[in-house]
Amino acid sequence: MNKIAIAIHGGAGQNSEFIEANYDAYLEGLKAALEQGYALLQKGSSALDVVEATVRILEDNPLFNAGKGSALNSNGKVEMDAAIMDGKSHAAGAVSMVTQVKNPISLARKVMSNTKHVHIAGYGALELAKLNQLELMPEDYFIVERQINDLKEEKSYGHGTVGCVALDASGHLASATSTGGISNSLPGRVGDSCMIGAGCYANTQCASSCTGDGELIIINVIAHRVALLMELKGMPLQAACDNVIRNIDNPINGDVGMISVDVDGNIGFSFNCDRMHRAGIDHSGNMVVDIYEKGSMLRPDK
């Protein structure tokens, strides 16, 4: 089999009592999603199919801030964003201000495959979901207690935007990112997760997905910058990720993180904050699953 690799994230930012109390559950959720995505790669699934399927798993896990478990805006409503990109064709699809759609990442995929557009928002996104018979859920499905508490306490963050990047056996790369946004945001606020080049990007050399302070990721065009550093400066993947996230000469004054995979099956993780929920399996079959700075390398079940 040719080289395959996969990496996922479940958000980056400051630590919290909730994360510490649910540490094991977060690791279990990351590992389960990772192993299911890796199994698909082993079976020969395309990178594009794998990143969509893996992000769907994370969207269905209420611990993460995407799909079920999304953050609530200042009106107590859920508005979700998502994007997906195929590195081979450069095709991409994105949605924002999404309501009712159980898995926004699959709606982003429909934008890419079934329309001539790249990004559709709000009521138009919902109409497209209905047209494509995607599963819809009532508003209360998405709302969980921790997000209600965050809104009551007027916290302006969310636990765990999700993303996945993958390299398939054909040498193709893909990226997908999905989020419930940030708690107590203004209605209609759109973050980086649905913006191609900022929170999500893939080409023939690498695929990246970002998480953290969305406004900073947008203005720094983080996911695309990694690809440019690799192409124009010849940087290896991890060095390019660190250059963008931890550049001491041009620091990003906020909490950001990213995952990335290159065409050789190397995976990169970089973040400048307390934690980034992350997991990956590289071209050699080495697995990492962790939240805080120091990771441990494991071997996946064969």
The answer to whether position 23 is within a domain reads: no
User: Is the residue at 302 inside a domain?
Assistant: no
User: What value does the mean pLDDT of the chain take?
Assistant: 93
pLDDT in tens, 118-132: 999 999 999 999 999
> For residue 295, is it within any domain?
no
Residue 84 main-chain phi, psi, to 5 deg: -145, 145
- Phi, psi dihedrals of residue 181, rounded to the nearest 5°: 85, -155
pTM greater than the 0.75 cutoff? yes
Residue-wise pLDDT tens digits, 1-39: 589 999 999 999 999 889 999 999 999 999 999 999 999
Question: Averaged over 50-65, what is the pLDDT?
Answer: 97
- Residue with token string 């203004």: 186
The CATH number of the domain holding residue 234 is 3.60.20.30
Residue 150 counted as domain residue: yes
Least confident span in 27-31, 233-237, 247-251: 247-251
Host domain of residue 211: 5-12+29-66+76-286
User: Is there a domain that residue 17 lies in?
Assistant: no
The structural domain count of the chain equals: 1
Q: Is the pLDDT of residue 300 over 60?
A: no
pLDDT > 90 fraction of the chain, expressed in percent and rounded: 86
Q: What is the pLDDT of residue 293?
A: 84
Sorted by sequence, the CB contacts under 8 Å of residue 136 that are 6+ apart come out as 100, 101, 102, 129, 130
Asked if residue 297 has pLDDT above 80, the reply is: no
Whether residue 297 is contained in a domain is answered as: no
CA distance 10 to 169: 25
The amino acid sitting at 169 is: A
Residue with tokens 């996946």: 300
Tell whether the model's pLDDT for residue 237 goes beyond 90: yes
pLDDT at 153: 79
pLDDT digits (tens, 9 = 90+) for 150-170: 888 766 565 579 999 999 999
> Scanning the structure block, which residue is given the tokens 């590992």?
31
Confidence of residue 298 (pLDDT cuts 50, 70, 90): very low
Question: Would you say residue 24 lies in a domain?
Answer: no
Query: Per the residue annotation, which of 161, 177, 179, 211 is the catalytic one?
Result: 161
Q: Tell me, what's the pLDDT at 37?
A: 98
Q: Is 99 a catalytic residue?
A: no
Beta bridge partners of 262: 206
Residue 158 lies in a domain: yes
Residue 201 in contact with residue 177, Cβ under 8 Å? no
pLDDT digits (tens, 9 = 90+) for 194-225: 999 999 999 999 999 999 999 999 999 999 99
Specify the pLDDT at position 218: 96
pLDDT at 248 over 70: no
Name the residue with higher pLDDT: 251 or 1.
251
Assign 250 a pLDDT band (cuts: 50, 70, 90): confident
Q: What is the predicted pLDDT for the residue at 151?
A: 82
- Residue 53 near residue 37, CB atoms below 8 Å: yes
pLDDT in the model for residue 36: 98
8-state DSSP, 299: -
Which bin fits 171, alpha (ψ -120 to 50), beta or left (φ > 0)? left
